[in-house]
Amino acid sequence: MKHCLFLLALALIYTAVPAQKFDKLANTPPMGWNSWNKFACNISEKIIMEMADAMVSSGMQKAGYEYIVIDDCWQVSRDENGEIVIDKNRFPSGMKYLADYIHSKGLKFGIYSCAGTKTCQGRPGGLGHEYQDARTYASWGVDYLKYDWCNTTTLDAKSTYSTMRDALYTAGRPVVFSLCEWGESKPWKWAKEVGHLWRTTDDIVDRWDAMIAILDKERELASFSGPGGWNDPDMLEIGNGGMTTEEYKTHFSLWCMLAAPLMAGNNLQNISPENKEILTNTDLIALDQDPLGKQGFCFRDNGDYEIWIKELANNEKAACLLNRSDEEKRVQVDFTVLLKSSDDYWVPDPYELEDYKVLDLWEHKEMILKESTLFITMPPHSVKVYRFLKMQ
């Protein structure tokens, strides 16, 4: 009996160790770049290397972006042993070479596959090859896996994604596991034990209305997101040309308020100064990456004018005013109300405005408040983002 217990304990330790290794990989929302939004299937080794170079030279790495992720279309078939075959025309030096190059820049390497028989672009999927693929990814030096949900017919999402998670654990290399099943089986309810982030919605489109439609779906999900497991409202479209600079500022601000993973999706080589300023706004990024890890909530909904609040560590807060309308708006803001706002009625209120500095995170200045209230004019589709910074 004692012998059996000892063996059981050993088995538990053995299975627990790899899992622990994966625990601290996403204490804050992952940040990086992914090829899909800009390049779709027109990817190559050259493009990925150029993006890694540009991630460093643009200052994005310094601002916190870390992962370079190749999305769909890098794979063409499986060989006679079932091993995945890379598109050699597009990636002539292979994935290990690319991973080494990306690592040499101090960045991390991500790849894409799919839980079904085929990826969304009809390339070979992972179904039935999970352990084999996980070993291959580990041998290449993969640090991040985005796992899609096309061609899965009647599969159960939780158990299918769990199989891939177990395969990754067994392969032993720590990998951020990004679940991409578009919110269909309400992954926010189960995915925290399986992966580090889960898509909540269909694919983003580079248009104002599509971006705002995603925001609306995040409202009910705030309580499910947190350190180690994040709601993923999809990748960023900043710089891809479908929205105005004002709208891209709004897109970025909202994703930071949501504590969303920040995966840039543009061509980093020819990024405009305006878009660079948006993507590298470290005051906004600090909201996204705040260690408390709380997703922001909609505190006031006045139709086309909303106020979003994000609680931060150290009893700090951020407030985002959002003008959703196509017209300029003049709004009255009461900073005491914003500071004291809460999604929980019963928490004792530790907030007094005189203990805080109020920072405007797009103007990069401290607000000098003669009174607690202020009138602000907001252009169409714009935001104002404030941080209540606790004075020591």
Q: Closest separation between CB of residue 73 and ligand GLA, Å?
A: 7
**Is 203 a residue of the active site?**
yes
Catalytic residue among 148, 206, 288, 290: 148
CB 36 within 8 A of CB 235: yes
Q: Indicate the length of the chain as a whole number.
A: 392
Residue closer to ligand GLA by CB (options 69, 321) is 69
Considering only the stretches 54-62, 116-124, 237-245, 335-343, report the one whose residues sit in contact with ligand GLA under the rule CB under 6 A: 116-124
Nearest to 152, CA basis, from 189, 114, 209: 114
The residue number with the shortest CB distance to ligand GLA is 120
Q: Which of 22, 26, 39, 71 binds ligand GLA (CB under 6 A)?
A: 71
Residue closer to ligand GLA by CB (options 36, 208) is 36
CB 331 within 8 A of CB 375: yes
**Is 355 a residue of the active site?**
no
Q: Closest separation between CB of residue 181 and ligand GLA, Å?
A: 9
Residue 120 sits in the site that holds ligand GLA (CB under 6 A):
yes
Residue closer to ligand GLA by CB (options 71, 130) is 71
CB 64 within 8 A of CB 31: yes
Residue 237 sits in the site that holds ligand GLA (CB under 6 A):
no
Rounded Cα distance between 254 and 391, Å, is 26
Write the burial class of residue 204 (CB in 10 Å: 0-12 exposed, 13-18 middle, 19+ buried): buried
Residue 87 sits in the site that holds ligand GLA (CB under 6 A):
no
Q: Between residue 293 and residue 332, which ones bind ligand GLA under the rule CB under 6 A?
A: none
Question: Applying CB under 6 A, what is the total number of residues that bind ligand GLA?
Answer: 9
Q: Which of 66, 133, 143, 148 binds ligand GLA (CB under 6 A)?
A: 148
Write the burial class of residue 203 (CB in 10 Å: 0-12 exposed, 13-18 middle, 19+ buried): middle
Considering only the stretches 119-127, 186-194, 368-376, 381-389, report the one whose residues sit in contact with ligand GLA under the rule CB under 6 A: 119-127
CB atoms within 10 A of CB 10: 10
Q: Which of 180, 259, 278, 385 binds ligand GLA (CB under 6 A)?
A: 180
As annotated, the active-site residues are 148, 203
Chain residues in the site for ligand GLA (CB under 6 A) = 36, 71-72, 119-121, 148, 180, 203
